[in-house]
Amino acid sequence: MNYLARQLHLLKSSSWGLALPKGSLLNYLKLKSGKITDTLGNGGVYPPMMSLLTVQRCNLNCSFCMGVKKRADWQEHELTPKKLERILELDIVSKVLVVIFEGGEPLLNKDLPELISMCRKRGHLVGIVSNGILLAERVDELVSAGLCDTQISVYEDTLGRLSKILPKVMSKHLGKLPINTSYVLPKSQLLSAQKGEFKNFLDLINMLKDSGCSSLKITLCESPTISALDLTETLMTTDAVYDEFIDVCRTNLKDICFEGYKSNSSFMPSSKFSLYFPRPFEINNSGRICRLPWQHIEFDADGNYLVCCHMDTELDERAKNVFEAGVDNINHEKAQKIRKALLDINIPLEPECVNCVQNSESSFFRNV
Ligand code: SF4
Ligand code: SF4
């Protein structure tokens, strides 16, 4: 299923837009037409997408994880129907098209079906980002609650387990619940796969396709540090191995719709398995491409607002908490500075945005 088919599926899930929150489609068009300023809401553009940190724990323990804070009092930081109600009542959320439950691992949250159903009752479409390990156990109740889209993050370590879980899930839900997948591709892994003519990656893609999944989105690897981004593992325009890998995929993989970099997609909806490659990264800090601080709003279960996932240090600052200090705090000083710089080539980027892949041509669209 290519990008366009996925959007059509979402539109169909909202009764062709009729069930969406009032004014949300108009707001989306306003955003797409570029009518944005350094503030969100207040008569300007509202974010069309909202991510919620549903839990801050996981059933895996990946060494590179940025999404899990290991804390003893994790129970107090789970998203509950009561907390979600407060978030959904915020004016800034009123024009959200898609709510995404993520984590940690959102399938660990026992209230997830109720949380999904609360969002659907208000007209929002709902997706999850999950590692998929618990999907076979929970998928039926989630689909009944109104889940529209699923994105599974695939890792080297989970491939074996997913090769058993995904066919089980798809045997019941094929055609009803699209399962899209993503894989963060570090440079060192691709260089090592080159020695085996990329066979391990070809097998991975074929496994996902044969399981009935809709797509695989390859993502460039980047590691945020306190002051900037570590790009050691990021595939750059100078890395010939990336072009070689894509060519091998195009020669060896059949019946696949290639999207993004070196696309052969015809901009028509296609139900074929889609494989998305981002453009390789090229450092260009004079570019002003990132629109995440307008397209996307993110809260943890306690109402703390995050401009994007690179701004993790903001989580614990009470001043950014919309429950305690009011929704105007999504326009706090730092957020405005980030947005201002992303709108004006003459203003230096905030440190977190320097070398960010999202601010380059590599960033084509964000799935779910
Ligand atoms: S599956 Fe995702 S959230 Fe869980 S530990 Fe790994 S990277 Fe972190
Ligand atoms: S450029 Fe990167 S760090 Fe800056 S707002 Fe966009 S995603 Fe966040």
The answer to which of 150-159, 194-203, 292-301, 325-334 has the lowest mean pLDDT is 325-334
Ligand 2: nearest atom to the Cα of 308: 8
Distance, in Å, from the CA atom of 130 to the CA atom of 151, rounded to the nearest integer, reads 6
Model confidence pLDDT, tens digit, residues 251-272: 999 999 999 998 876 678 888 9
Q: Tokens 């796969």 label which residue?
A: 193
Looking at per-residue confidence, does 311 or 258 come out higher?
258
For ligand 1, the distance from its centroid to the CA atom of residue 68, given in whole angstroms, is 7
Is residue 290 within 8 A of residue 363, CB to CB? The reply is yes
Nearest CA to ligand 1 atom 6: 62
Which pLDDT value is given to residue 200? 96
Residues within a 6 A CB radius of ligand 2:
290, 292-293, 307-308, 310, 338, 352-353, 356, 358-359
Q: How far apart are CA 232 and CA 291, in angstroms?
A: 25
Confidence (pLDDT) at 361: 66
DSSP 234-297: S-BTT-HHHHHHHHHHHHH--SEEEEETT----SS---SEEEEEPPPB---TT-----HHHHEE
The whole-number pLDDT of residue 366 equals 43
Looking at residue 176, what is its pLDDT?
A: 84
236 CB near ligand 1 (under 6 Å): no
CA neighbor of 58 nearest in space, from 68, 43, 47: 68
**CA 57 to each of CA 68, 88, 105, 130: distance values in angstroms, whole numbers, following the listed order:** 5, 23, 6, 12
Residue closest to 100 by CA, chosen among 273, 298, 292: 298
At 12, list the tokens: 């169909």
pLDDT digits (tens, 9 = 90+) for 70-124: 778 888 899 999 999 999 999 999 999 999 999 889 999 999 999 999 999 999 9
Indicate which ligand has the atom closest to the C-alpha of 57: 1
122-143: average pLDDT = 97
**Mean pLDDT value across residues 140-144:** 96
Q: How confident is the model at residue 144 (pLDDT cuts 50, 70, 90)?
A: very high
Whether residue 61 has its Cβ less than 6 Å from ligand 1: yes
Q: What is the reported pLDDT for 67?
A: 67
Q: Comparing 210 with 69, which gets the higher pLDDT?
A: 210
Which alpha helices (DSSP H) does 174-235 contain, by range?
187-194, 199-210
Residue to mutate (ligand 2; options 38, 231, 292, 339; most atoms within 8 A of CB): 292
48 C-alpha to center of ligand 1: Å?
A: 25
Residue 368 has pLDDT above 50, yes or no: no
Cα 266 from Cα 368, distance rounded (Å) = 21
User: Which ligand approaches the C-alpha of residue 339 most closely?
Assistant: 2
What is the average pLDDT value for the chain, to the nearest integer?
A: 89
- CA torsion sign for 354, 360, 365, 368 is negative
- Residue bearing the CA closest to ligand 1, atom 8: 65
47 in contact with ligand 1, CB cutoff 6 A:
no
CA distance 245 to 185: 12
The rounded Å distance from CA 62 to ligand 1 centre is 5
* Residue 131 alpha carbon, nearest atom of ligand 1: 1
Protein residue closest via CA to atom 3 of ligand 2: 353
φ, ψ for residue 81 (rounded to 5)? -55, -35
The ligand whose atoms approach the alpha carbon of 228 most closely is: 2
pLDDT tens by residue, 313-343: 554 555 568 888 777 778 888 889 999 999 9
Q: Which residues contact 195 (CB under 8 A, 6 or more apart)?
A: none
Average pLDDT (167-174) is 90
72 Cα–ligand 2 center, Å: 30
The C-alpha atoms of residue 96 and residue 215 are separated, in whole angstroms, by: 24
What is the side-by-side strand order in the sheet with 125-130?
Answer: 256-260, 273-277, 215-220, 179-185, 149-153, 125-130, 98-102, 49-53, 296-300, 305-306
For strand 229-230 and strand 223-224, is the pairing parallel, antiparallel, or unpaired? antiparallel
